[in-house]
A and B are shown apart, each in its own frame.
Chain A
Amino acid sequence: MIPASFDYVRASSLDEALATLREHGEEAKVLAGGQSLLPLLRLRLAYPGTLVDLGRVEELRGVADRGDHVLIGAMTTHYEVVTSPVVREHCPLVALATATVADPAVRHRGTFGGSLAHADPAGDLPAVARALDMEFVARSPEGERVIPAADFFLDYLETALDPGEILTGVRVPKLGPGWGFHYEKFHRTAQAWAIVGVAAAVRRSGGAVEEARVALTNMGPVPVRAIGVEQAVRGADPGANGALRAAAERADEDTDPPSDLHARPDYRRHLARVLTRRALLAAAGAA
């Protein structure tokens, strides 16, 4: 399809981008890597009057080690995230999940911030953000605010960002030693979105699971933490037959999986349980 006409502004600084957004109001939209926005335009599912391109805003790009957390600039591409030594060392779950996003072409254009701001429940990064309790740094002409992951995703393709706000970066807390990670993605082709995905982080001490974080992709309009699993798995011995399986049976509690061409809800629920078990085993190093 062919997009409807729109105005295009290439911002060279964050302030300029914010000013342009303010000037054009609700009509304007931010353009990051374009890997989600351009398809919407081409299918005429979105009609923004003005696109504010962040591609040249250098201050939004890059990965920085900030002591207790890693700051990933919103305009850092998936490729840059996957290949960043800082990310690989301190937040391997982010690297693992990002490596499953689409294909190399998309990963070279699509951005970390764009993926999260787009808030597609089938996207891989929102669940990781929930599992790791990331913090979202947003700027508006009024100033900066920080939004915890638990408050960021409001609904299908809807976040806590105001129309005039730009996501500048995301703080990924370092979890410290003893943690293992895994992202278990189930999809039909290498390039396809997740039917269900499970992000898991597990800390063991003396063999048993001491703490686990589990978040689910595409099991509802927003990514969800599998609280029931996290509770049930505490103290379990990953080596013991069935210990993680029992905990994983609770994976689909309080979820609201969608029905679409790729899967119906009962199948998604089943997948969530199976994949959660596998993710926990892998994160616990017992797979």
Chain B
Amino acid sequence: MTEQLDAGVAAWQIKESDVLDGREVGRARRRKEDARLVTGRTQWTDNIQLPGMLHVAFLRSPMAHARITRVDTSVARTQPGVVAVFSGADFAAEQGSLPCVWPVSEDIVIPDHPPMAVTEVRYVGEAVACVVATDRYKAADALDAIEVDYEPLDAVTDMTSALDEGGPKVHEAGNKAFTWTFAQGDIEAAFRDAAVRVERTFVQQRLIPSAMEPRAVVAQTDGDAFTLHSSTQIPHILRVMLALTTGIPEHKLRVVAPDVGGGFGSKLQVTAEEVLCLLITRRLGRPVKWTESRSEGNLTVHHGRDQLQRISVAADADGRIRGVKVDLLADMGAYLMLVTPGVPLLGAFMYSGVYKMDAYDFTCTGVFTTKVPTDAYRGAGRPEATFAIERMVDELAAELGMDPIELRRRNWIRHGEFPYTTVCGLTYDSGNYEAATDRALALFGYDRLRAEQADRRAREDPVQLGIGVSTYTEMCGLAPSRVLGSLSYGAGGWEHASVRVLPTGKVEVVTGTSPHGQGHETAWSQIVADALGVPFEDVAVLHGDTSSSYKGMDTYGSRSLVVGGVAVVQACEKVKEKARQVAAHLMEASPDDIEFSRGEFRVRGTGTSRTIQEIALATFAAHDLPDGFEPRLDADATFDPDNFSFPHGTHLCAVEVDTETGATRIRSYVAVDDVGNVVNPLIVEGQVHGGIAQGIAQALFEEAVHDADGNLLTTTMADYLLPSAADLPAYTTDRTETPATTNPLGVKGVGEAGTIASTPAVVNAVVDALRPYGVRDVPMPCTPERVWRALGQARTPQRTDGGLS
């Protein structure tokens, strides 16, 4: 295994040495943070031990919806090791409401969301009380001694019936949070005399983000200031939001995201536990820790997806797409959390995908149910949109009897047409769908597989072969601040970096992004090494601590490199300019005559030069600097992008479907992604692999299931099935590189692309395999049982009771 990896990396490096000519950007470097992370010589939040630290355990509602009529903590207080027991009433005066920063419409209903329920619970798992004890075992034991009386209220578990008049309500104001609409072009005309119209309803099942590291919080105070360690993606946003929520002044609150083991959006949140741990430490004056268990996490981490998509496409007889209409119900869960209502909006502009069309119409209604709130999950809105349009293009191809690739070619934006402003009003800066698709088709052996498919169909082989296509693009690199403003988002989308040159010429980069597994320390080091001409090893990257990195917008939405990386480049440019001044002064030349290359400042046309390290030391000494020169090379930069980033690619998937059992097996998977210029191919490869795995997981494996009373049934990993390496195919990956034109690095985001692309490729393949049997859709996840029932239903169309609930 290691040998293989070494061989792989070596092969890359051989290729690189020709091309890279000593540059760092583009090298498949192994990540410098990994040795520390995988050997555990690091600081996860749960590893933190502080003198006198107490442990918090939460008592959680066993009911989806109920009034709390009594909470008695008196017996629990007497249990061994228990220091304090609190219920919602104890915090009512100070706990505030968990924030939602994306009020998408004027009339949106944003219900009060107390971190600990006081009078009513609205989902199973909502915190109603907590025990603070000397160890986590005693804390957990004492939970049994808390008495809570509930008066049950009706659960609301189905989005469609939730909108019926007169039904049970989640909140006083009703079950509709908002309706948001967006229309471009004449949709009536597009549909009126279209030769073909296809309409489908897709269910984006609820997913549970499963980061490897569970959430954990440590809060402490010295009586005046507070420090909160949290396994979070957003230390900076968290600090602002906690200051606003708890009233602790921002300058008295330090937030630290130490090493964080994954998030996928689930740690892009201001959680009840973070607020409550701060309040508890404020009350008791002692440090407290809370770490969730996996089953507690399944119940209470915000969930992802959960949309009902009604989508129709109108096209001409030759396949030209005229328009797309989308009517969406999005399950908010019981409350609106940090960006809950904005998630479907992030998809609203992507239903046109890579295609040209005349008109587009989008309506989304956010619906309250008595389930844990939904919020961002890898891709947030774009996987849903991409799934729907890519599924629909395959459906349209079937309707027209046309090859799905050919149909795409007829509709997509051609390479020569970039930059292209889509029907949704986004300007895609660059792309080459032809190149990525041609490459993918060649790697996949498309024609050969189609021939095998025809053969299996002719033989009526019980194992059928399906081929799924996904030519995706997505918008990421969140985000131009003014666009966020126009969408009513509560903050900007810029990113900050500062570069500090130490006396010995080593460099510290402080980034406002907050890596939690992505490898920023490596990629940023590569960027800085090239920009300043210092060795890769001489760069350290500081992040995730608001006391060292005071300014940032953190990591999500595939933004770190395309926004944060650019800020690093810009800060380096400023450093270089300062160093040029010093170099010119020391070599008694004009700054205009100084050339910079690979860490050396040289007087043009002479042999005289100074290294950046020499300049660093001279600046530190400050004995001989230009007049008025501030004695430092350090610089910072804040970058606000002009546009989003639009990675794209073509994913092809071949799935074997056993028509007897309904089992599916991915035979081959080809992904050709275009993420622009690449800083580190190994990291890109990792993001693509993980992304595809997560997309396949939605297509075939994962689903949060509730019963009619609103109980989550998938609370453990025996019920909520995550695929492992053994369940996934070996991917064939490749890239085309069409540089982004909107940032100086030419890079595009890659964090979510694989997830966005892969789900429709897989489901298209499953449906393609079964089309001869009359199957037109299989709801996700396409479990063997669902495939079997879809086949049964298609064979006996009169049966209506077979569908899975």
Using a CB–CB cutoff of 8 Å, the interface residues on chain A facing chain B are 1-5, 39, 42-43, 103, 186, 188-193, 195, 261-264, 267, 270-271, 274-275
Q: Does B2 contact A (CB under 8 A)?
A: no
Please judge, given known A-B contacts A2-B293, A274-B660, whether A189 and B785 are in contact too, CB under 8 Å.
no
List residues 115-147 of chain B with CB under 8 A from any CB of chain A.
136-137, 140-141
Give the segment of B246-254, B723-731, B741-749 that binds chain A. B723-731
Q: Does B489 contact A (CB under 8 A)?
A: no
Number of CB contacts from chain A to chain B under 8 A: 59
Q: A1-B140, A3-B137 are in contact. List 20 more A-B contacts (CB 8 A).
A: A1-B296, A2-B136, A2-B140, A5-B141, A39-B716, A42-B293, A43-B295, A103-B724, A103-B726, A189-B701, A189-B721, A190-B724, A190-B727, A191-B726, A192-B718, A195-B784, A261-B713, A262-B785, A267-B788, A271-B661
Q: Indicate if the CB atoms of A1 and B785 lie closer than 8 Å.
A: no
Q: Does B732 contact A (CB under 8 A)?
A: no
- B802 to chain A: closest residue by CB: A266
Q: Indicate if the CB atoms of B726 and A189 lie closer than 8 Å.
A: yes
Minimum CB–CB distance for B782 against chain A, Å? 11
Q: Indicate if the CB atoms of B785 and A267 lie closer than 8 Å.
A: yes
List residues 43-73 of chain B with CB under 8 A from any CB of chain A.
57
Please judge, given known A-B contacts A5-B137, A43-B295, A270-B788, whether A189 and B718 are in contact too, CB under 8 Å.
no
Q: Does B719 contact A (CB under 8 A)?
A: yes
Contact with A along B81-115 (1 / 0, CB 8 A): 00000000000000000000000000000000000
Cα of A261 to Cα of B784 in the assembled complex, Å: 12
Q: Does B663 contact A (CB under 8 A)?
A: yes
Among A39, A261, A275, chain B packs the most CB atoms within 10 A around the CB of A261
Minimum CB–CB distance for B752 against chain A, Å? 24
Using a CB–CB cutoff of 8 Å, the interface residues on chain B facing chain A are 57, 136-137, 140-141, 293, 295-296, 660-661, 663, 701, 705, 713-714, 716, 718-719, 721-724, 726-727, 783-785, 788-789
Q: Indicate if the CB atoms of A186 and B661 lie closer than 8 Å.
A: yes
Cα of A264 to Cα of B788 in the assembled complex, Å: 12
Q: Indicate if the CB atoms of A188 and B783 lie closer than 8 Å.
A: yes
Q: Indicate if the CB atoms of B661 and A191 lie closer than 8 Å.
A: no
Mind listing 28 A-B residue pairs with CB under 8 Å?
A: A1-B295, A1-B296, A2-B137, A2-B140, A4-B140, A5-B137, A39-B716, A43-B716, A103-B724, A186-B663, A188-B783, A189-B701, A189-B721, A189-B722, A189-B723, A189-B724, A189-B727, A190-B724, A190-B727, A191-B724, A191-B726, A193-B718, A262-B783, A263-B785, A264-B785, A267-B785, A267-B788, A275-B661
Minimum CB–CB distance for A253 against chain B, Å? 19
List residues of chain B with CB within 8 A of the CB of A261: 705, 713-714, 719
Minimum CB–CB distance for B130 against chain A, Å? 14
Cα of A123 to Cα of B220 in the assembled complex, Å: 46
Minimum CB–CB distance for B366 against chain A, Å? 28
List residues of chain A with CB within 8 A of the CB of B661: 186, 271, 274-275
Cα of A267 to Cα of B785 in the assembled complex, Å: 7
List residues of chain A with CB within 8 A of the CB of B136: 2
List residues of chain B with CB within 8 A of the CB of A262: 783, 785
Q: 7 tightest CB-CB pairs across the interface, nearest first?
A: A190-B726, A2-B140, A1-B293, A189-B727, A274-B660, A267-B785, A189-B721
- A42 to chain B: closest residue by CB: B293
Minimum CB–CB distance for B82 against chain A, Å? 14
Cα of A61 to Cα of B726 in the assembled complex, Å: 30
- B296 to chain A: closest residue by CB: A1
Cα of A40 to Cα of B675 in the assembled complex, Å: 46
- B697 to chain A: closest residue by CB: A189
